[in-house]
Amino acid sequence: MKPLALAPMLASVVRRDLTLALRRRSDALTTFFFFVIVVSLFPLGISPEPSILRVIAPGVVWVAALLASMLALLRLFAPDFDDGTLEQLALSPQPLVLLVSAKVLAHWLVTGLPLVLIAPLLGLQFQLPASALGNMTLSLLLGTPCLSLIGAIGAALTLGVRGAGALLALLVLPLYIPVLIFGAAAVSASTEGMPAGGHLSVLGALLLLAIVFGPVASAAAVRIALG
């Protein structure tokens, strides 16, 4: 099938998921405010010392982003699985891998992109320098799509399973660790005046791997769930 013929279908899937997300604003706002509240509580609860805040900032921001991303994973495929939409997508002539990619993109636009946009403002609470704020934003811009793509695999594998939330966490948390390590390390390097390019390059490589293999694995898991 020609790429130009696929584009309208993929755009319609993204548009549909964004429209549904707007109708269920509470779901997206829960993820966003969870991130904001968790990041904001640490400067209040630990210490106002700038030296301490700069040390903890990378880990706090990235752990909060990771947990916030996980909050929305159960809603990635489950509603469409329950109402039969996912089965219709699987039966459509378009490749399921691309349709899954479109759903993951919509998921990231709703849950990941707002975190990227608000992160520099939250970083000011930790007395981070401008270079660290820039690298924090860039690391989240590279890392949060990885979280959505990896999380989609777990969300697809747990479709129709009891206790899906706990099982999903067990499946995806080990896979999130490399993204967490290099994302936080990029910000830490900036706060210490060291170059962060190497860490950001690894995050970029992880994103490329997730883009290539994530939708394929998710589509295969969806087909297994539909059985």
Q: Which domain holds residue 72?
A: 3-226
Once rounded to an integer, what is the mean pLDDT over residues 25-30? Answer: 82
Given phi > 0 = left and psi -120 to 50 = alpha, else beta, which region is 163?
A: left
Domain count, the chain: 1
Neighbours of 140 (CB within 10 A): 26
As a whole-number percent, the residues of the chain with pLDDT over 90 amount to 48
For residues 9 and 70, the model is more confident at 70
* pLDDT of amino acid 45: 83
How buried is 97 (Cβ within 10 angstroms: 0-12 exposed, 13-18 middle, 19+ buried)?
middle
CA 101 vs. chain centroid, Å, equals: 13
Q: Tens of pLDDT along 162-218?
A: 777 788 888 899 999 999 999 999 999 988 888 888 999 999 999 999 999 999 999
